[in-house]
Structure 1
């Protein structure tokens, strides 16, 4: 082999070796660059992680601060809420106390208004009381009516003490004269046993009646004497002189019957004309069937009636009545619990009014006190004398006055 070929091969080998070295160096350089890039990336990642960690730490710290702040605010809010609740409780306590005081005052005012309304309505009982809505019958007198009748006549003489038992006894034993309104009420079993054991008759419940009593027939009985004495005393004090003398003369003739007409206030008005009509029928029957006794004791010219009414007194008007004849327009000023009294008073020959005993608390007022009172309803008793013929003539007119 020639020297040039050897050199050529050597150069070639050298070149190849150099190329390999260069390639190796280039590869190593590339690997170093790659490693550096990887390290840079890793460093960047580490930096990013550190930054993220720092941000996270900052956020965590901020959150902790916020939580602490919120806890502080919550404590302040809770404290303020507790104070508000305490204030509200105090306010509630005050409101409750104030409400109690206001309620008491309101109740007191309402009670006062009710009392005033009750006082205003007492005089209107005859008009506003509910009508007794029960089944009733008209019956003749019998002794089982004694207690009911006595209860109805207790105030007959204006609260004066008198023998009401004797008067009730006369009324219920007058079997042929008098009409009674009775109601049938169920008897309690215990009361029934007691009554049957004592062998007593069952009481009849009377709610109203009308009858005549002969003053002549019973003139020696103390109760009739008490009635006549009461009438004379009141007439002397409250009647005018002429009518007082006339009354004395009529009573002296013993031709007077006592018209006793009593009932509870809420009896149906429609029953009243029947009550008086039946009394008239009884009187006619008695006259026909007991002529001798009738002629001796019941041939009346006049009927004497003691009844009651009320009147509204205003300002300084004198509540006391009497000592003068009453005109029709003056009769209109009174309120009559028994409406037929107004009709009979129009026909009465003698009549006078006087303040009833139950109104004494309202009497004796000075002029100054009367000026201070706008209106006051006073109770009165009435005594009147009417011819029996005029009484009978008035009975057919009674239904016409039911709606007045």
Structure 2
């Protein structure tokens, strides 16, 4: 009851404060965001751990609502479990490679083109899933929360065995994993392991030159845009810090020139992220942003109070990424870097085994 009550209060507050002082379009965007948030609040604890953590951390950064504390702790436990397993079971490169072979079926995709691209890369880079997706991602999340693993030195030694530039500048890898690589090169920089951001961006531009956009399939065009959005989002620390537009002028110029094509050729999660990159730079009135907001608002299904998949699915778990991004896009509250044990110790009353404060 408490969680539902807090949403009703928030909705009422929005309604009371959104008369003459707030333009109608903004009121509509806020109301759309509240629709989505109310739907997800009702189903929050039914989400699997990764989805729950993804949603809770982003929503806490936007709202400061303590009802997301459980989700943050669940994600912390997920990270601890990943790092405990790797530190104690996959402590050398050969074990990393074998484990990756055993779980690569997880990356089978309903899109046969994407699945084929990813299988091709995993034949060459057997270790990629355990190394990049599990180890780097988990270490970066722990670091983001102000934590580290008790065997941090051991995990870093394992990371240092690999030169991540091998993956980051490979055009086949970029075509298969653009958004993931965008995340991972920034995570490596964040962890102080390897700074290859510039090399990755250079390789990305060569893989996807703008003048060849019309020759890309819709799947590859979406992969390009998804990779671009994650360059900005990863640079912000996932909504923790603002972005200076001039530092990424080429991205913002591209999005302004191509926003109509992006809306026409990509799915709603990518469209929402394309708008969020403008919010991260404080460009609240940019016409490109407003186009994405209007599109996402019109995409909310009135029966299910969420943005459905392109096939019309209202699956709460599968739609989490799409809908949390849509909620953020429609009612942006700014960046927030306080979700860590140093600034918000109340979020971490206990720590799962394996993690300690930095």
- Report the TM-score, using the length of structure 2 for normalisation: 0.27
- Which has the greater radius of gyration? 1
| TM-score computed with the length of structure 1 as normaliser | 0.25
More strand by share: 1
Q: Larger RCO: Structure 1 or Structure 2 (Cα < 8 Å, ≥ 6 residues apart)?
A: 2
